[in-house]
Amino acid sequence: MNYISTRGQAPKLNFAEVLLAGMANDGGLYVPEQLPTFSRDEIASWAGLSYAELAFKVIRPFIGDCISEADLKRMIDETYAGFNHSAVAPLKELGTNEWVLELFHGPTLAFKDFALQLLGRLMDHVLAERGERLVIMGATSGDTGSAAIEGCRHSEHLDIFILHPYNRVSEVQRRQMTTIKADNVFNIALEGNFDDCQEMVKDSFADQSFLGGLKLGAVNSINWARIMSQIVYYFSAALAVGGPHRPVSFSVPTGNFGDIFAGYLAKQMGLPIEQLVVATNRNDILHRVISGNDMSKGTLEHTLSPSMDIMVSSNFERLLFDVYDRDGAAIADLMRRFKTESVQLDGARWDKVRELFDSLAVDDETTCQVIRDVHAETGYLLDPHTAIGVQAARECWRDKAVPMITLATAHPVKFPEPVIKAGLEAPQLPAHMADLFEREERMQVLPNALSEVQSYIATNAHRG
Ligand SMILES: *Cc1c(COP(=O)(O)O)cnc(C)c1O
């Protein structure tokens, strides 16, 4: 299996190379040259497999011969054995044909664990085989950082440096990052905002000379292996409610378009999916593109669903690549224009996007209302991201005979503010995290200056 860039200029890579490279060197994102597909009968034959067994079936074709079957199987088994629920991704019924898929039973209580727990193991394995080391650098506004640190803390061949905006992430989120005790984990609290953090990561990837020969790797969702890992739970959820012989629909709280793009891939790979609903908060560029062909950056708004406070959804480029019949030059041109102006998709391309996705933007007030209503109806407590997904599911659901599954992307304990605003009692930390507020924290506060950040990384990264 080879991977090509959405902008058509970067070299083709195999899975191991894509895993370590992150972004393509032409500024594009890597996608498989050809997607594996499965027949309905084959998918049906997977009913009854454990989550890890299913993950092996879905992931195996993407790896090619870069990793042996036995090693891949072991890493997948270890990954999902670390989840706190026997079903790994259990479904809860809210009403007739209405479900939520709980993706928050991993170590950091958000869906990003599904990919990052596996990513850390895959990277460590490939680095060990090559006798190389890697420096992971990433920016976080919360969930990505803690999940990436948890995923990499046991990796012997990489160091991880995560930048978060000083004093601007929630205390639970910060402590999930800063209380991890491992020699290869470095938390940088930057005296700036999230965009400053992201900018530093981008600049550092563009010119890695400050590392004196070491290489940078990425753990954000531009890394193909993250998207790949997320395809699995669309299959597992569909199988659990009667697929593939009956279609299912999904509603997905969306920020960077990574999670929903995995759903789109599941559909291309043969899983019968009727509707894919893109659910956004007031940072609604995706909703504006899908509903009105308006691809323009707004101003970033802070909402009660901070993990979706994103102005530019980087993985949307992967979809556009398909919609533009994999014309890398057209995508490069579109993305270049999008940097400085608002763009429209060609009419026929936009029609394809609209056929593939429904969408809704949900404001904070409605988010709290949904949390309150669903709790009153069912006793079930939604986190704010999931509440947005449930609202979009209810508004966009065309055929009530088709099961509608909303992805529950985080445990409500991570985001108590909207729960309290909804007039409900704040949820308690699960037992294995009960002492989070007593644990010792480790982080380095640094000024908003690229040279200071780079010299901190160069000094602390292990070299051999
Ligand atoms: C990251 C995240 C999202 C958005 O996922 P994308 O893949 O960026 O679309 C939604 N909800 C929660 C809780 C998250 O952590």
Statement: residue 2 has pLDDT above 90: yes
Statement: residue 312 has pLDDT above 90: no
- The residue contributing the CA closest to ligand 1 atom 14 is 307
Buried b / exposed e across 36-59, counting CB within 10 Å, b at 16+? eebeeeebeebeeeebbebbbbbb
Q: Which of 440, 143, 62 is nearest to 306 (CA)?
A: 143
Q: Which of 228, 249, 238, 289 is nearest to 72 (CA)?
A: 228
Question: Residue 360: CB partners within 8 Å, gap ≥ 6?
Answer: 277, 278, 279, 280, 287, 391, 392, 395, 396
Which of ligand 1's atoms lies nearest the C-alpha of 415?
Answer: 13
Residue 454 lies in a domain: no
Which of ligand 1's atoms lies nearest the C-alpha of 230?
Answer: 7
Statement: residue 384 has pLDDT above 90: yes
Q: Across the chain, which distance is largest between two alpha carbons, in Å?
A: 59
410 residue type, one letter: A
- CATH number of the domain that residue 239 is part of: 3.40.50.1100
Ligand 1 center to 79 CA (angstroms): 20
- The residue contributing the CA closest to ligand 1 atom 8 is 256
- The residue contributing the CA closest to ligand 1 atom 4 is 255
Residue 392's domain spans which residues?
A: 87-107+227-421
Pocket test for ligand 1, best of 109, 112, 388, 406 (most atoms within 8 A of CB): 112
Pocket test for ligand 1, best of 119, 143, 219 (most atoms within 8 A of CB): 143
pLDDT digits (tens, 9 = 90+) for 75-108: 999 999 999 999 999 999 999 999 999 999 999 9
Mode of pairing for the β-strands spanning 216-217 and 185-190: unpaired
Ligand 1 center to 68 CA (angstroms): 31
Pocket test for ligand 1, best of 220, 308, 367 (most atoms within 8 A of CB): 308
88/101 Cα distance (integer angstroms) = 10
DSSP state of 110: B
Pocket test for ligand 1, best of 231, 314, 371, 385 (most atoms within 8 A of CB): 385
Statement: residue 345 has pLDDT above 80: yes
Buried b / exposed e across 200-214, counting CB within 10 Å, b at 16+? bbeebbeeeebbeeb
pLDDT digits (tens, 9 = 90+) for 248-267: 999 999 999 999 999 999 99
Question: Cα-Cα-Cα-Cα dihedral of 257, 59, 146, 13, to 10°?
Answer: -70
- Count of CB atoms situated within 10 Å of the CB of 445: 11
pLDDT band at 242 (very low <50, low <70, confident <90, very high): very high
φ, ψ for residue 164, nearest 5 deg: -130, 155
235/265 Cα distance (integer angstroms) = 11
Which of ligand 1's atoms lies nearest the C-alpha of 410?
Answer: 13
Residue 350 lies in a domain: yes
Handedness of CA 274, 36, 125, 164 (dihedral sign): negative
Q: Which residue has the tokens 């020969």?
A: 213
Q: Are the CB atoms for 190 and 453 separated by under 8 Å?
A: yes
Ligand 1 center to 71 CA (angstroms): 29
Q: Are the CB atoms for 176 and 108 separated by under 8 Å?
A: yes
408/99 Cα distance (integer angstroms) = 10
Buried b / exposed e across 389-405, counting CB within 10 Å, b at 16+? bbbbbbebbeeeebbbb
Residue 146 lies in a domain: no
Ligand 1 center to 263 CA (angstroms): 13
Residue 166 lies in a domain: no
pLDDT digits (tens, 9 = 90+) for 91-150: 999 999 999 999 999 999 999 999 999 999 999 999 999 999 999 999 997 788 999 999
The predicted structure's pLDDT at residue 64: 94
How many structural domains is the chain composed of? Answer: 1
168/264 Cα distance (integer angstroms) = 33
Q: Are the CB atoms for 448 and 182 separated by under 8 Å?
A: no
160/145 Cα distance (integer angstroms) = 10
Strand-by-strand arrangement of the 273-280 sheet: 91-95, 98-102, 404-408, 248-253, 273-280, 358-361
Ligand 1 center to 45 CA (angstroms): 31
Buried b / exposed e across 9-26, counting CB within 10 Å, b at 16+? ebeebebbebbbbbbbee
Which of ligand 1's atoms lies nearest the C-alpha of 104?
Answer: 13
Strand-by-strand arrangement of the 158-165 sheet: 216-217, 134-139, 158-165, 185-190, 444-446
Q: Are the CB atoms for 225 and 115 separated by under 8 Å?
A: yes
pLDDT band at 195 (very low <50, low <70, confident <90, very high): confident
Which of ligand 1's atoms lies nearest the C-alpha of 260?
Answer: 9
| End-to-end Cα separation, the chain, in angstroms | 31
Ligand 1 center to 88 CA (angstroms): 18
Which of ligand 1's atoms lies nearest the C-alpha of 258?
Answer: 7
Residue 78 lies in a domain: no
**Ligand 1 interacting residues, C-beta cut-off 6 A:** 110, 112, 143, 221, 253-259, 307-308, 385, 409-410
What is the chain's Cα-based Rg? 21
Residue 462 lies in a domain: no
pLDDT digits (tens, 9 = 90+) for 203-218: 898 899 999 999 999 9
The predicted structure's pLDDT at residue 70: 98
247/216 Cα distance (integer angstroms) = 42
Ligand 1 center to 384 CA (angstroms): 11
Ligand 1 center to 458 CA (angstroms): 30
pLDDT digits (tens, 9 = 90+) for 51-84: 999 999 999 999 999 999 999 999 999 999 999 9
Q: Which two tokens stand for residue 308?
A: 């979706």
Residue 261 lies in a domain: yes
Annotated catalytic residues are: 112
pTM of the model: 0.96
pLDDT digits (tens, 9 = 90+) for 163-176: 999 998 888 889 99
Residue 6 lies in a domain: no
